[in-house]
Structures are given as structure tokens and as C-alpha cells.
Chain A
Amino acid sequence: MFIQGFLFLFSMSFFAVGPAIALHKASRWEEPTVTSTREEAIAFIDKIKVLAPSSSWSNIKPALFLENLRLNIHQPLSIYPGRGTNFCGYGALTYLMLQDDPLGYAKLLLQLYNDGKATFGKVTFDPSPEVKKAAGTLHFKGVLDIHPAEQMWFLSLADHFKGYLNFFNRKYDPGDEDSFWASVNYAKFNNMARKLLNYKVHAKGSDLIRPYTNGLYDYISEKLKTGIVVLYINNRILHKKKLEKIKLAVPTHFVVLQEISKVDDIVTLVYWDYGGRTLIQLSPHFLQKIVFGVSYCTKKEVND
């Protein structure tokens, strides 16, 4: 009874997100973000040969930071949110940012590194002292261990943007990159995308109820023809971690879809997550089962 009530309240809170986002979208149209090309970003970052140590980020090694930033700009696929962390939503967002405005990304991260705080559009990042101390020290997270720019950025995003999943853990303590402090619910992801990217984001789905479409495969493949599609999926089914028969039907992971096709009732997906592209084959029924959110992003036009 209690759980049902709890779920009802939560589901109501997701539906309540709709109008708030619409209002925010309306205000964004007045001041569109200027975007850039990868060539511009490469020309900018390749000019920087040496970085001085940052007084704000005491555990970040300048040479490693610069190397990491260069890698992200030259190879956006390399973005790696870390093993065992809850950074996947921030990883997907960063991957989109590197497609949308790589020069903006480079300047933002350098400003954050040099000054300890930075402004991007209407968002001002002013990370807490705990986050500043932690960046550069995360370890046993795969290649994220030696990517201090990504550590700084993901921690700053988690510190700044808050959703209902972060309600009980709002202040960073060591190890919180793996906890609810870093979690990203669907509304929070779309909110971050609308604030940081020069995209119109049309979101379908929620944290508990799967999106209603007249055929999910057709809907996704149609959207992918004209824009970028981010899928919010239940990775516990796709990438099993337990052999239990009863599995919690909740989404846990964000992937950026790159290709989708169907042959003989087998759907093939190619998506970006965790520093590379993955191809997976599944039935249309399984696809329906794992997808909880479809975020369709298109570039804003001049008149937007």
C-alpha cells in the first residue's frame, strides 16, 4: 500500500515536470547559444601547449588535464563516464555537447579549471570545495582514472544539477560518484540538455512508465532520420548483472543512438556509451521492454 502510494506520488511528479520544462524552453528561445565546429575547437586547443597548475583543483595534474581535453575534442567517442559510477547521464550529455559546441565545451572546461567556476549560457558552475578536492583522485574507474578533465566536469555537473533522486544526498562525500548523489533521472537529463545544448529537446517517456508510441521501432527510426536520439533504458535487462528471474523494471542508463535497423523481426541497435560504440541485436518486444525514454534533439534554427 505504502509502496503503491509512493510510486503514485513519484509518477505524478514526473508528469508535473512537463509544463515547467515548456516554460523554460520558451525563455531559452530568446537567447540562443552560439555553436561551433570541431575544426574550430581543434585549432583552439592545439594552440595551448602548457597549462599552469590550478589553485582551485589541487589534485588535477595540468598536463594530464590538457591531454584529456585534447582527446575529448579530437575523439568525442572517447568520453568515458567511469566503471561503477552513476555518471552515464553526464557522459551522454557531454557526448552531445561535443557534437553541438566543441569549442564552447573546451572554453568552459578551461574556465572552470583556471577560475574554479564558470558560466555557460545561463548556467553558472560553482563547484563545492569537496568536489574540487575529489577531482583527479577518482580511481579504479577504468580510463576515467587518468582523465581528470572528465572527472572535474562530471563531478561539477552532478554538483550543480539536482533531481529528485539526489534529494537525500545533495552534498558530495568521497565515493558519492557511485551513489544517488550522482544519479540522473529522465527529467533531469532533459533539463540539462535544454540548458547546455543548442538543441530543441522533445522527450517522450518517464522514470516509471514506458513511452506510448504507435510502434516504438518505427518511432525511433523516424526520429533518427532527422535528429539525435538519446535512449533512456533499463540496462539491468540489457546488460545483466544478476541471474535473478525477477528484475526491477526501472531505467538506469542513457545511450546515444547512432543506427537502428530491422531484419526478420530482429532489431539491430548501434549506440554510443562508455567510450565507444556498441552493436546489439534484440527483438522488438525486448526493445519495448527496455526503453523508458526517447529524447529527440534537433538543432535550433535562427527563428527558434
Chain B
Amino acid sequence: MINRMMSGLLAAVVVTGLYSCSAKNISSNYYYEHEKVLEKIEQSYKELYRQKPFTLAFTDKDFRTVSVEIITDSLSYIYEFTVGEPRLSDTLRKYNFSATGITRLIDLMQSIRCTWVNNFDYYVDEQKKFLILISIKPVALHPLLTYKKYYILTFYSQPQQFDEKGRLLDKRKRRRLRKINGEIFHRINDKVCYTVSGQFR
């Protein structure tokens, strides 16, 4: 009898784990739990990017290998480094980047398992606008068998429009959902949205 009750309890816990920890709940909570670090990443990336365009991505599960894309007018350079190796700072200095600033940003990204930070261009009424896109691979419970493992956060400069379900809308056609890489984005606040995706970029 006790065994049967224990089995029942275990099954209930598993089912609760599978269904109540929906990716949607985790990701909006995730933002508030890590708000300060996320904002720091966004602000510092925006400032460093303004000085010289680049993107950063972690390319291994242990968050030890970082891929740096250095964007110039004529060529984009993609290099991979192990975090902390002298070659990384040397390269950043060679391209006139703030080596200290970018190293600090890499540390921040590593601390919350942020896989990618990028500056995204988009167009409203033919005018170019930018948003900062931050991808994270959190260590959190996921519904089993799901392939969506990355939280994608987008930081806009201006307040955005949403429908009654909190889904991001296209500004040009107010009733059309705005999809980025095929994903629908949800409201966290007026300028920050999130989605859960199978890919981090």
C-alpha cells in the first residue's frame, strides 16, 4: 500500500515537473531573476558595439570556447578562442577593441550561460532600426523531449506593440505578428521580449 502511494506520488511529481515548468513560465521568470546581469550585458554590448561592431558566441557546452566576429567595412573576421588565453586579448588589441571591456562582457555572459549576443537590424517604414538579441542556455527544468532549449531575449530602443495575449506585433501592420527567425516573441516589458527556441541564433 505504501509502495503504491509512493509510486503515485512520484508519478504526480514527474507529471508536475513535465507540465507545470512550461518553458514560457521559466523564461519570463528567468528575466526577472537575472535582470541586473542581463541589463549589464545589453548596456555594455551596446556601448562596445558603438565603438566597433562585433558579436560574441559561446560554441561549446562548457562555455570555455568563445567565437568573436569582428565586423569591418570590407571584411568580417571570425576567430575562436579559449576563454582567458592571451591570444584573445592580443587579437582584440590588434583590432583596437577595448580588451578589458570585452573580457568583462565575456565573463558576464559566462556567468549566466549566455550563448550569443548580437546587434540585429530591422526596418520599419524603410527606416533602419536596431535591437540587441541575447541568447541563453539556462540550466533549468525542461519538459522532456522538447527541442527548444534556448531563451532568446530582444531589447528594443523604443516601446513595442503587443496584442492582447502579449505577443509582439509588426509595426507596419498592427495585427500581424512579428516573427524573428520564425519565432513569435512575448512581452516582458514595453522594450524587452522573449521567446524559447531550438537554436540560439
A interface list, Cβ under 8 A from B: 64, 83-84, 139-140, 142-143, 145-146, 175, 178, 239-243, 245, 270, 276-281
Contact = CB atoms under 8 A, between A and B. Distances in A.
A276 B71 CA distance: 10
Interface string B162-176: 000000001010000
Contacts of A83: 181
A84 B79 CA distance: 23
B126 interface: yes
Nearest to A144: B123
A246 B179 CA distance: 28
B182 A240 contact: no
Given A139-B123, A140-B178, A243-B115, A277 B75 contact: yes
A241 B123 contact: no
Given A242-B198, A243-B61, A243-B115, A279 B75 contact: yes
Closest 7 CB pairs of A and B: A241-B199, A145-B123, A84-B181, A278-B76, A280-B78, A279-B77, A243-B61
A240 B75 contact: no
B67 to A, nearest CB: 8
Contacts of A270: 75
Chain B interface, DSSP helix/strand/loop, else mixed: loop
B85 interface: no
A243 B200 contact: yes
B180 interface: yes
B121 interface: yes
B126 to A, nearest CB: 5
Contacts of B79: 281
B57 interface: yes
B146 interface: no
25 contacts: A139-B170, A139-B178, A140-B170, A140-B178, A143-B121, A143-B123, A145-B122, A146-B126, A175-B182, A240-B57, A241-B200, A241-B201, A242-B199, A243-B59, A243-B61, A243-B115, A245-B61, A270-B75, A277-B74, A277-B76, A278-B77, A279-B75, A279-B78, A281-B78, A281-B79
Nearest to B60: A243
A140 B74 contact: no
Nearest to B125: A146
Nearest to B121: A142
Contact of A240 (B59, B74, B180): B59
A64 B115 CA distance: 36
Given A241-B200, A276-B75, A280-B78, A139 B57 contact: no
B142 interface: no
B26 to A, nearest CB: 18
Interface in B54-100: 57-61, 67, 74-79
Given A84-B182, A241-B200, A243-B115, A146 B123 contact: yes
Interface in B173-201: 178-182, 198-201
Contact of A243 (B74, B75, B126, B137): B137
Interface string B133-150: 000010000000000010
